[in-house]
Chains A and B, each alone.
Chain A
Amino acid sequence: MTGLSDLAEEVVHLVEKSGGEICDVLIVDMWATTAEVERNSVKQAEYTVDPGLAVRVYEGGSSGFAYCTSHEKQDIEKAAELAVSQARAGTPDSDFRGLPEVSPCQSIDCLYDPILASLEPEKAIDMLLLLVDAASDDARVASVNAGLTVSASEIALANSNGLVRSQRMTSFDVFAEAVARSGDSMFSGMDYASSRRLLSDSTVAVGESAKQQAISGLKQTKMETGDFPVVLDPLAAGYILASSIGGGANAEGVQRKRSYLAGRLGTTVGSEILTILDDPTLGWAVGSTSFDGEGVAAKRKAVIEKGELKTYLHDTYTAGKDSVETTGNSSRGGAIWSYWDPPAISFSNLVVRCGDASLDEMIRECDKGVYLRVTFDSPNLATGEFSGLLMEGYAIEKGEVGPAVQQATMGIDMLDMFARVDIIGKQQRYAFGVETPALRISSARIGGSG
């Protein structure tokens, strides 16, 4: 670690000598191993090493950025030279107020799992096969496709104010798709899990869940178009909230008046039972970090508290522009960070505060409605309007989950959705960067084919 930190400081000095007086440097040393199963058989194992470096230079507020895929002196010098020249080529920006100053930063636990970091590819394959056993344990399951990736990195970040930070991170991701067939009916179920530590038990659970969903979906139905209550599974809630809150509260979009949440700070944007935090300190979550992509110490904060919009998500640039303190939401992308892109604003981990209802109780509250387990759609951030596919959605009839709904859509304005959250579940899960329980929406527009 000292080696990478020293290198980061050395490169900062090199950039300064090249004329880049305001700069930051990220050094990354990472490796990853992946195992893949196709149709129940081990297909491929991969091993990647990816050392690299990113240099960002500001001149008159203009930002130049360059990266190289090595730590070799020749490449580093070239990247430094390019970042300086690109910053000089850009337009001045008086809204830039500088990079973070040296400040205390407490390292948080639960970022690095040494057991995970030393996992051999052969072990990853064995774990994946346990998942396949669990997912294929039913004659109706015709095929299981799955993947498991373990990644680890050491990073060091330094800037021209003398700030130097470093940390080690690990990441574990597993997914499964089970395809079930019965007569003419075919359906696939998916599930996944991610963490900064080894999740042996969860790996099997992911396989069992994919199997269960694939089988559940073999019975299919159609729905008529209409307004119905919708219970969002944590998987669907996580996906929608990651884009609607993570993207909508992004201060850059807000400042440029591109977000439906612009001008709503301090106002009610949702039901009073809805509280959503941004928490980079969440134990073992893949969005957790001791400091953000510019070196600002991690801090937990409410984004929405009892329905009120409390903050936007800032990096130092947007914070300077609004004359507020940065919220530490500059991201270097991904669980183990990357040098391939300039830093950008992102949430760390969003956490939806739990209610006290079980999923069964939430469904029992619906005489006729939809249980939406999976969607991969995002709202239009300018309007806040969401229209998406029920990729894996089930009809609720008389308080019970019924067949899978085919060819149906859900439409709702995000502010209406937040206001119509009338029951919140008590069981959270981590999905797409969001630790959330199930949410019940009292009414949404379902477009059906029935």
Chain B
Amino acid sequence: MIRLEDKAEAAIERALSLGAEFADLRMESASGTSIIAMDGKTKTVTSKIEKGCGIRAFIGGGWGFAVCNGLDKLDLSKAAETSVRLARASKEKATLSFEIASMSSCRVRSEYPCRTAPSTVPTEDKLSFVLGLDKSMSAHDDRIISRSARYDDFEGERVVANSFGSLVKTRETWVLTSCSAWSKSDGAVQRGHDAVGNVGGYELVSSEPASNCGVSAASMAVRLLDSKPVPAGKFTCVLDNKMTGLLAHEAFGHACEADAILSGSSVLEGMEEKVVADEKVTLIDDPTIADTFGYFAHDWEGVKSAKHVLIEEGVLREFMHNLETSSRMRRPPNGAARADSYSSPPIIRMSNTYIEPGDMKRDELIEDINEGLLIKGAQYGYVEPAKGQFMFKCDEAYDIRNGEIGQRYRDAILTGAILNVLKDVTGIADDFKLVDPGYCGKSGQEARTTDGGPHIRVQNVVVGGLA
């Protein structure tokens, strides 16, 4: 049997022999399980069997990318030929010409830390865990009227190879569990949710956060029963750990992806080494943090992962790069290229994004606010870097009057301008947490990420609501 790495190198050679100036590939063989339980019963138990390869060829400014769902030599050779044909077609019509700067080759095998491979655990055990989460939600409060509990695991062997001689084999394992609960009282229905995820194996389900995931979701659903729609207007807001993370990710992180800079669609173009935030703000994206959902050791172009200091004490220092943007912007590659599977080309993505802690206490952020909001829990957010606008939606908000926390609100959305919001940060607490595992969507691809930070105080935030 021919080894995967030998097949990979043969395919790269084929692309080069047909005229590619640079070529790389991602080859994967993966399996996984998903279990969804609703209201005490399993809805579906899913198994996946995936294998295939995506090959990229580059000629003078044009890329070609071809995907096949097989790993035999013929499939790979044909995909290599197609990628070169497409690269040539792109190059012929491209008005921009550039080269991919050579990088030192990297030949390594890495394995994400994993004590218990999910594939060695019987489905019945996983099912018992999911039904246990479901039960914990129903037992939490009589007002819980519906529940969903979900478990996902993934085990994959990935080979990344390129024509600079890199060959990175990665054994990737991760587990994610999530719960949603719906409560009802006096005709009003509310939803609570929580998620816990990490690279690693089945040992995650024994952790306290995973065991408490159901109770956490149910508690939120019950808490929100006495909430009111949030008033719309401009407020000073204190953001909790999750919302600080979402702010770092949506309000700034996306605009620091160098593909957005080169495509002319980020307001941060030309802003390197300029002040973009209050001097208290240091904003990081760091895939090297072990034991997080956003962890990876090498990116999907075979570059060793690295900590990205995007903002240092208020000054824009760095963008996140892939091989193309680092070549074109004459910066060292910093390992931010990711693909959500072999069938997608690698693009620049975040990993673990956060704001570093300050030296204030959370209560100090709140005590001198006369009229404001405490914003807790993250639902979702999005940004359009070219408009310089972002939004994100929270789970819960609380009225702050004269330093006291009062009425509970729901579904507040926060919006602002990328170039202003971090200048409006007026306080940073010392209670740092990386807390919010999930997926970030970009160009039709999903990447596992974690966000976080300390509580922070921001002024002039536009809050949207029904009241």
Residues of A within 8 A of B (CB): 35, 38-52, 62-70, 72, 75, 78-79, 82-83, 85-87, 89-93, 121-122, 125-126, 129, 142-143, 145, 177, 179, 186-188, 217, 225, 256-258, 260, 340-342, 376-377, 380, 382-383, 385, 387-389, 391-392, 406-413, 445-449
Q: Chain B residues near A39: list those with CB within 8 A.
A: 96, 262-264
Supply 22 A–B pairs (Cβ within 8 Å), ascending by A.
Answer: A39-B262, A45-B63, A45-B90, A46-B67, A62-B42, A69-B69, A79-B49, A86-B45, A91-B37, A121-B85, A179-B265, A377-B391, A387-B412, A388-B464, A389-B464, A407-B389, A407-B416, A408-B462, A410-B464, A411-B232, A447-B233, A449-B460
| CB-nearest residue of chain B to A392 | B387
A sample of 13 more A-B contacts (CB under 8 A), given A41-B61, A341-B46, A448-B234, is: A39-B264, A44-B345, A90-B45, A92-B41, A342-B46, A380-B410, A387-B393, A388-B464, A407-B415, A445-B232, A445-B467, A447-B233, A447-B463
> Does residue B93 face the partner (Cβ distance < 8 Å to A)?
yes
Q: Are B94 and A409 in contact (CB under 8 A)?
A: no
Report chain A residues within 8 Å CB of B65: 44-47
- Select the residue from B40, B182, B264 with max chain A CB neighbours within 10 A: B264
Which residue among A87, A385, A413 has the maximum number of chain B CB atoms within 10 Å of its CB? A385
Output the least CB separation between A230 and chain B (Å).
Answer: 13
Question: A407 to B39, Cβ gap below 8 A?
Answer: no
CA distance A345 to B95 in the complex (A): 45
Knowing A382-B182, A407-B416 are in contact, say whether A63-B52 is a contact too (CB < 8 A).
no
Question: Are A187 and B189 in contact, CB atoms less than 8 angstroms apart?
Answer: no
Those of B155-207 within 8 Å (CB) of chain A: 182, 184, 188-191
In the complex, per-residue mask of B211-249: 1 if CB is within 8 Å of any chain A CB, else 0? 000000000000000000110111000000000000000
- Check B232 against A382 for contact (C-beta < 8 Å): no
**Known A41-B96, A70-B69, A86-B123; contact A121-B386, beta-carbon cutoff 8 A:** no
> Quick check: B465 and A63 within 8 Å, CB to CB?
no
**A177–B263 alpha-carbon span in the complex (Å):** 10
CA distance A179 to B269 in the complex (A): 13
Q: How far is the CB of A94 from chain B (nearest CB, A)?
A: 10
Complex CA–CA separation, A78 to B29 (angstroms): 14
Which residue of A is nearest B413, CB measured? A387
Contact of B44 among A64, A82, A380 (CB under 8 A): A64
Choose among B66, B95, B464 the residue that contacts A409 (Cβ–Cβ < 8 A): B464
Contacts of B465 in A (CB 8 A): 387, 409, 411, 445, 447
A194 to chain B, nearest CB (A): 13
Known A258-B191, A388-B413, A388-B464; contact A187-B62, beta-carbon cutoff 8 A = no
Q: How far is the CA of A449 from the CA of B421 in the complex (A)?
A: 13
Kindly list chain A residues whose C-beta atoms are within 8 Å of the C-beta of B417: 406-407
Q: Is B208 an interface residue (CB 8 A)?
A: no
A66's partner among B47, B63, B343, B463 (CB-CB below 8 A) is B47
Q: Is B384 on the interface with A (CB-CB < 8 A)?
A: yes
Alpha-carbon gap, A149 to B122, bound state (A): 41
Q: What 1/0 flags go to B392-409 for Cβ under 8 Å of A?
A: 010000000000000000
Partner of A38 from B93, B190, B263 at Cβ < 8 Å: B263
Expressed in whole angstroms, the minimum distance between the Cβ of A172 and any Cβ of chain B is 16
Give the docked Cα–Cα distance between A54 and B342 (Å): 19
Interface contact A389-B389, CB-CB below 8 Å: yes
Asked whether, in the complex, the Cβ of B386 is within 8 Å of the Cβ of A177, the reply is yes
Which A residues are CB-close (under 8 A) to B67?
A: 46-50
Given the complex of chains A and B, what is the CA–CA distance between A343 and B234 in angstroms?
43
In Å, the complex CA distance between A437 and B247 comes to 35
Contact of B388 among A50, A89, A186, A446 (CB under 8 A): A186
Q: Which residues of B contact A93 (CB under 8 A)?
A: 41-42
Q: Which residue of A lies closest to B40 (CB)?
A: A91
Are A129 and B93 in contact, with the CB atoms below 8 A? yes
Cβ–Cβ < 8 Å partners of A86 in chain B: 45-47, 123
Q: Please, what's the 1-or-0 string for B376-387, where 1 marks a CB less than 8 Å from any CB in chain A?
A: 000000101011
Interface: B6 (CB within 8 A): no
Against A, the Cβ 8 Å flags (1 = close, 0 = not) of B261-295 are: 01111010000000000000000000000000000
Q: Given that A177-B386, A412-B466 are known contacts, is A43 also in contact with B94, CB under 8 Å in the complex?
A: yes
**Interchain CA distance A68-B52 in the complex, whole Å:** 11
Contact of A67 among B49, B145, B267, B343 (CB under 8 A): B49
> Known contacts A65-B46, A125-B93: does B232 contact A51 (CB below 8 Å)?
no
Knowing A49-B68, A65-B45, A410-B464, say if A85 contacts B413 (CB, 8 Å): no
Whether B96 and A143, one on each chain, are in contact in the complex, defined by CB atoms closer than 8 angstroms, is: no
Taking A86-B123, A129-B93, A389-B389 as contacts, is the C-beta distance between A45 and B263 under 8 angstroms?
A: no
Q: Which residues from chain A contact B256 at a C-beta distance below 8 Å?
A: none
CA distance A38 to B348 in the complex (A): 14
Q: Give the docked Cα–Cα distance between A247 and B127 (Å).
A: 27
Q: Is there contact, CB below 8 Å, between B411 and A380?
A: yes
A187 to B385, CA, bound (A): 10
Chain B residue at smallest Cβ distance from A179: B386
**CB <8 Å contact, A186 and B47:** no
Please encode chain B, from 81 to 101, with 1 for each CB lying within 8 Å of some chain A CB and 0 for all others.
010011101110111100000
B368 on the interface (CB 8 Å rule)? no
Which chain A residues lie closer than 8 Å to B416 at the CB level? 407
A257 and B189 in contact, given A41-B61, A91-B41 (Cβ under 8 angstroms)? yes
Please indicate the chain A residues that have their CB under 8 angstroms from the CB of B87 in the complex: 45
Q: Given the complex, which residues of B lie within 8 Å of A410, measured CB to CB?
A: 464
B462 to chain A, nearest CB (A): 5
* Complex CA distance for A41 and B464, rounded to whole angstroms: 38
A187 to B265, CA, bound (A): 9
- Taking the closest CB of chain A, its distance from the CB of B316, in whole angstroms, is 17
Q: How far is it, in angstroms, between the C-alpha of A35 and the C-alpha of B94 when the chains are bound?
A: 12
Q: Give the residues from 27 to 76 in chain B that come closer than 8 angstroms, CB to CB, to chain A.
A: 37-52, 61-70
CB-based closest 3 A-B pairs: A409-B464, A143-B264, A447-B232
Contact between chains at B52 and A382 (CB < 8 Å): no
CB neighbours (8 Å) of B459 from chain A are none
Given A44-B90, A89-B123, A387-B464, check contact A188 B412 (CB 8 Å): no
Residues of chain A within 8 A (CB-CB) of B39 are: 256
B192's nearest neighbour on chain A, judged by CB, is A382
Partner of A70, one of B51, B229, B234, B265: B51
Query: Cβ of B146 < 8 Å from any Cβ of A?
Result: yes
Smallest CB gap from A46: residue in B:
B65
Whether A257 and B264, one on each chain, are in contact in the complex, defined by CB atoms closer than 8 angstroms, is: no
User: Hey, which chain B residues are within 8 Å of A225, CB to CB?
Assistant: 232-234
Contact call A406/B389, Cβ cutoff below 8 A: yes
CA distance A90 to B45 in the complex (A): 7
The verdict on A70 contacting B191 (CB below 8 Å), with A79-B49, A257-B184, A445-B232 known, is no
Known: A44-B65, A69-B52. A380 touches B191 (CB 8 A): yes
A76 CB, min distance to chain B CBs, angstroms: 10
Contact A89 B189 (CB under 8 A): no
Q: Which chain A residues border B189 with CB–CB below 8 Å?
A: 257-258, 260, 382-383
Whole-angstrom CA separation of A438 from B392 in the bound complex: 26
The answer to whether A85 touches B265, judged by C-beta atoms less than 8 angstroms apart, is no
Determine how close the nearest CB of chain A comes to the CB of B57; give it in whole angstroms.
10
A90 to B41, CA, bound (A): 8
